[in-house]
Structure 1
Amino acid sequence: MQKVLYPQREAWEKLLERPDNGLEDVYDTARGILDDVKRNGDAALLKYTRMFDGAELKALEVTEEEVDEACKQVNSELKDAILVAKQNIETFHQSQKTQKEVIETMPGVQCWQKSVAIDSVGLYIPGGTAPLFSTVLMLGIPAKIAGCKKIVLCTPANNDGKVNPAILYAASLVGIDKVFKLGGIQAIGAMAYGSETVPSVAKIFGPGNRFVTAAKQLVSLKDVAIDMPAGPSEVMVLADDSADATFVASDLLSQAEHGADSQVIFVTNSENLLYEVEQEVEMQLKQLPRKDIAEKALANSRLIVLETTEEMLDICNQYAPEHLIISMREDELIGNQVLNAGSVFLGNYSPESAGDYASGTNHTLPTHGYANAFSGVNLDSYMKKITFQKISAFGLAKLGPSIEVMAEAEQLMAHKNAVTVRLKKMEN
């Protein structure tokens, strides 16, 4: 990791550059595969599954028998842990439901908002080197709470044509019964366009590699909505001398092991802590099974010392991290001043891993600086907001003249007339 002591503000932008996500290099590939899937449906899906995943499939959909067999393979300890996570995620997302509230903006003018579930959603669950069964919970539970009628889940199979058992167990636990053995660009195409086997959806959720990210961005241009722009995982840790260097190093490495293109940023106002953290990272890194992946991520990462807490907050808000850990004495006070972050973890005993798995918050978050404008996945992500209004004759009599004046000023005389004819009717 690169150490940087007391950088000037004009150097921050360069210092906070993320690794190139390589999307420009894969757009052409993604377009070609998406077009093929759109034209040729299942035949294209089977072809690319064979080509990229090495799986020779007879059918794309996971059968009930396969789900039952997978559930038997998951040990009871993991099942218990998944159940704890499920309960916490349900509790947190249930709390996000809102009640209808009728607002009288002026006498006789009533307005309100209704939340309606998106009818059909697609969930992409990465497989590969880290099959993310936790993401099944994070995406499937709020979809169920929202009331989405059709939930489609796509996840890649291994070269034997099998889906990770924990992924199928989590899907079964959540109540998702449409699971397909599809990964990568072809999975996104299947959910966007539909095929003979896979139904199309209105909105696609889920993280993925750069190929998946590029495909999601392309289909979102005109075919289907997506949850957010997403890319390699990242964390920023803000710490003072009250932090535990062992804890901090473990948090940095927990993100670094996600992928070679991940990034971790450590920011402190204590030089001593910086060197302690650096040593801890080196020691803990040696013990990791995914050491090679983490090392590549650390090459893109930084250890930064700044003078003041105010500077630390400023650099944090400029970076807009996906995950932000604040290990400082006044963690809540500092946390309240954070403007740009996907999810914030306060204190020495709130590891980012808790949010990834089981505390209840959602781990599907904006990356690559998009936290300056996007939220992470939440219950509202699965809802549409429809506004209503009801105006009485009395209300229109009071409001109408203002509408007439504004419509005439915009030279939209039919708009004005829609009010005028009503007001004249009321005069008779």
Structure 2
Amino acid sequence: MKLGFLLCCLCVFTAPTCSTSERCDDWGVDTMKLIQAYEGEPARIRCPLFQDFLKHNYSTAHSAGLTLMWYWTGQGKDLEEPVNIRLPNNRIIKDKDTLWFRPAIINDTGNYTCMLRNTTFCSRVAFPLEVVRKDADSCVSQAVKPEVVELPLEHTERLPCPDTDGFFPVNVTPSVTWYKDCISENFYERLPQGLNLTFIVVRSNYQGNYTCIVTYEDSGKIYNLTRTSEVKVVGPPEDEKPPSMTTPNAKTLYEFAAGEEMLLSCEVFCPFVRNSRNDVWWTVDGKKLEENTERIIITESVNEQLGGAKTIKVSLSIKQVTVEELKRNYTCAARNSLGEVSRQAPVKEKVGTPRYITELACGLGATLFLVVCLIIVYHVYWLEMVLFYRAHFGTDETIGDGKEYDVYVSYARNAEEEEFVLVTLRGVLENEFGYKLCIFDRDSLPGGSK
């Protein structure tokens, strides 16, 4: 039975001939597996060859005679060298498929390579480790990207302190301090319970970054672990629905004249649906527009709303639309994992006003405007116009009428009115326009004209 097991392992891990012993399958640097750790805190690196590449566990590989070795290339260096696991105080140790740092320091930053090999088989992969310092006056560093956790609105949820399993012995109960945005507070409706923070009721203002600092003792040393989760409050499952379209709608008719810019807007409300994407697009005569063309330009804007919902607006525009383009079928469609909705934008050619009607309207408008202006001028300046006409074009109406005077002037006997009558009024009417004035004090003599 043991012989059969070894033959099985050799079939998996050995090459066809011994001539391949010099070759090693190098999977390169897996940058998707960036590991970040805080300076002075424990960190670990697990070799991904077993889970992601070879699909066999460490025990099986070890039983087949394969040896796991660790190498690293320091930041800014080119030379790869073995990881030194014989440091004082066992700061770096190897435990099966895991490399431990207790604690990690800044100089540990670099690319780490795990190599699995024997005399006939070799495979290796590298991935980066970044050790960072916490920001000043902060419990975290902005360089460390937190894990995003979505909590449904108005629900009771539990937020675990992530990535702590295996860091401390199972018989050790660590102390945990929780922070929101690096501020220690009395969590109203949120109950810290060791490695879990229970949200009794999830509310929209509870969104933010939650940090747990775990303190534990191992082999007589005190260690801290800092972990952060970014909590996003999303819509509850019962509100998950297909998208709904606001525009276009049956009540709106889009009319454009040839040569104008045609602009069609599609506005869609997309409620939050977990693990679903929202797609909004236009079709022209049933053909989906994947990207902008020479004639048709598609623009999109997204408005984020409470609970992860979105309002997506996708506009379709044609700068100088032609008659043929106005006759095409323009339809907007939207979908998520729960359903799809589509609606046509009714487009028609705008009927222009006949030219003679336009000219007639302009003529009537100009005439009416001129008449109004003349009426206003006459109303304001009618006396000046009459006097001007009489002075230049009118006949002398006083000839043959048998009257000695044209105007009789009576006034209050005070200095102001007397000056106006004798100087101003007399000067204008007698000297400029030739009227004969009968002024009371000047011409009303006993036995004179009445």
TM-score bracket for the superposition, by shorter chain length: under 0.3
TM-score, normalized by length of structure 1?
A: 0.22
Question: Comparing both chains, which one has the higher relative contact order based on Cα–Cα distances under 8 Å and sequence gaps of 6 or more?
Answer: 1
Return the structure number with greater strand share. Answer: 2
Which one has a larger percent helix, Structure 1 or Structure 2? 1
